[in-house]
C-alpha cells in the first residue's frame, strides 16, 4: 500500500483542490485548515462541523501524525513534565514551566540526541529520529492547552531546549516556528521563542542567511576549547573560533543579541580564568549570559558548586559589567530540569 500523505503537509490550496474534487462547498477547505492549525485538533473526527463523508474521505486518504499525551508528572513547584508518544511509538518529553511572570513551554526537536554532552541525560539515549514539524508544533499546542486549563492563560514563551539538537533538525524546526508564529495558528511572536543550540557553526550562519527573527541561545558552558571539548564533543568540529565567527555573522545580519547558556560545574568551569574568558567573549557582540544551576544526572561525575562559589561567580561577572542572569532549575524532583530529560517518568 502506498504511504498516505500526512494531512498537515497539505497547504490551504491543496485542501481546496481536495474539497473541489469531491464537489463540496469551497468554504469547507478553510474550515479544515482552521481545525488543523487554529483549533489544533489531533483527530479528523474532532472536526465536528464537517459532513461525515468529508471526514471519512480525509481519514481514509491521509495520515495524521498527531502526538498523544502518554503521561504527565507535576512537580512540587508547579512544573509539569509531559511524556508524548509519537504515531510510530517513540517517546519524547516537553515541560511546562510556570514562574511569576512567565509560562514557558520547553520542547524537544529530536527523539533522543546524536550529540553526547557529558552532563546530559538525553545524550545517553542516542538519536532515534528527527521530529517532524507538526510533532514539534503539537508539543507547543498541547502544553498551551494545559496552561489555559490550569492558569487560564496561554504560554508566554517557548524554548527549544528539550531533547535533541534543534539545528540538526533545521528544516522541521524552522517549519514548526512558521506555524507557531502564523496568525492563523498559534500566532506567537518570534521574539518569545528561543532556539538553543550546542553550537553548529554552519547552521548558525544558515539562520542568519534565513533572517531568523527568534532568539538564539548557545549552550556555551566553557569559553575555552579544551574545557568545552571535554564536556561537549561537538566542540571538536565546531570550536569556539568557528562559533564566534558564526555568531559575529549572525549578529551582523540579524541585529539580534545572543544568549549564552552556562551551567556552572564544581571545579570545572567556575574558576577565575573562566570568568575572564567569559567576560572577554561577552564583550564581542550584544549578549547576555544565563548561569544555570546544575541538576545531578545519574552516571555522571558532574556536581554543582556550593552556594557561596555560585554567588561569587555571578558577582564577579556583574562587576565586569556582563549582562548576567541566574536560572535556578525547576522541576528537579521530576527530572524535568535542564539536561535531565531522558524518558524516565
Ligand atoms: S545537552 Fe542538548 S545537545 Fe547536548 S546531548 Fe543533551 S540534548 Fe543533546
Question: All domains of the chain, ordered by start, with CATH?
Answer: 10-63 (1.10.150.530), 68-334 (3.20.20.70)
User: Which grid cell sits at 195?
Assistant: 532556539
Atom of ligand 1 nearest to the CA of 114: 8
Query: Is the Cβ–Cβ distance between 5 and 132 less than 8 Å?
Result: no
The set of cell numbers assigned to 157 is 514563551
235 lines ligand 1 (CB under 6 A): no
Tell me what pLDDT residue 341 has: 62
Of residues 87, 200, 73, 217, the one with CA closest to residue 158 = 217
Q: Looking at residue 296, what is its pLDDT?
A: 76
Q: Which residues of the chain have pLDDT under 50?
A: 1, 345
Q: Is 112 in the pocket of ligand 1 (CB under 6 A)?
A: no
What pLDDT is recorded for position 345? 46
Give residue 286's pLDDT: 95
Q: Which atom of ligand 1 is nearest to the CA of 232?
A: 4
d(CA 254, CA 18): 39
CA distance 307 to 257: 29
What pLDDT sits at residue 126?
Answer: 87
The rounded mean pLDDT for the chain is 93
Instruction: Supply the pLDDT for residue 120.
Output: 85
User: What per-residue confidence (pLDDT) applies to 124?
Assistant: 80
* Residue 338 is among the residues annotated as catalytic for this protein: yes
CA–centroid distance, 28 to ligand 1, in Å, is: 43
Task: Please tell me if the CB atom of residue 117 comes closer than 6 angstroms to any atom of ligand 1.
Answer: yes
Amino acid at each position: 500500500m502506498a504511504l498516505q500523505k500526512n494531512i498537515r503537509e497539505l497547504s490551504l490550496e491543496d485542501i481546496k483542490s481536495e474539497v473541489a474534487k469531491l464537489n463540496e462547498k469551497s468554504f469547507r477547505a478553510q474550515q479544515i485548515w482552521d481545525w488543523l492549525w487554529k483549533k489544533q485538533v489531533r483527530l479528523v473526527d474532532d472536526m465536528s462541523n464537517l459532513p461525515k463523508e468529508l471526514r471519512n474521505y480525509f481519514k481514509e486518504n491521509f495520515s495524521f501524525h498527531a502526538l498523544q499525551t502518554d503521561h504527565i508528572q507535576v512537580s512540587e513547584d508547579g512544573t509539569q513534565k509531559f511524556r508524548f508518544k509519537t504515531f510510530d511509538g517513540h517517546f519524547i518529553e516537553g515541560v511546562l514551566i510556570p514562574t511569576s511572570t512567565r509560562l514557558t513551554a520547553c520542547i524537544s526537536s529530536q527523539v533522543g540526541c546524536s550529540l553526547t554532552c557529558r552532563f546530559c541525560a538525553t545524550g545517553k539515549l542516542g538519536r532515534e529520529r528527527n521530529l517532524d514539524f507538526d510533532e514539534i508544533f503539537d508539543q507547543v499546542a498541547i502544553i498551551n492547552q494545559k496552561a489555559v486549563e490550569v492558569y487560564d492563560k496561554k504560554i508566554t514563551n517557548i524554548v527549544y531546549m528539550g531533547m535533541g539538537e534543534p539545528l540538526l533538525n533545521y528544516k522541521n524546526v524552522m517549519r514548526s516556528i512558521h506555524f507557531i508564529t502564523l496568525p492563523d495558528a498559534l500566532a506567537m511572536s518570534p521574539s518569545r521563542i528561543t532556539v538553543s543550540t550546542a553550537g553548529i557553526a554552519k547552521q548558525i550562519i544558515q539562520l542568519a542567511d534565513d533572517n531568523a527573527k527568534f532568539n538564539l541561545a548557545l549552550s556555551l558552558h566553557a569559553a575555552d576549547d579544551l574545557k568545552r571539548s571535554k564536556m561537549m564533543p561537538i566542540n571538536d568540529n565546531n570550536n569556539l573560533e568557528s562559533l564566534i565567527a558564526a555568531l559575529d555573522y549572525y549578529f551582523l545580519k540579524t541585529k539580534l543579541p545572543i544568549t549564552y547558556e552556562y551551567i556552572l560545574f564544581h571545579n570545572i568551569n567556575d574558576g577565575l580564568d573562566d570568568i575572564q574568558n567569559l567576560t572577554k567573549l561577552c564583550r564581542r557582540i550584544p549578549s547576555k549570559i544565563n548561569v544555570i544551576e546544575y541538576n545531578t544526572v545519574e552516571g555522571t561525575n558532574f556536581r554543582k558548586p556550593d552556594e557561596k562559589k555560585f554567588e561569587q561567580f555571578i558577582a564577579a561577572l556583574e562587576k565586569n559589567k556582563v549582562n548576567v542572569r541566574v536560572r535556578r532549575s525547576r522541576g528537579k524532583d521530576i527530572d524535568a530540569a535542564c539536561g535531565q530529560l531522558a524518558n524516565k517518568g
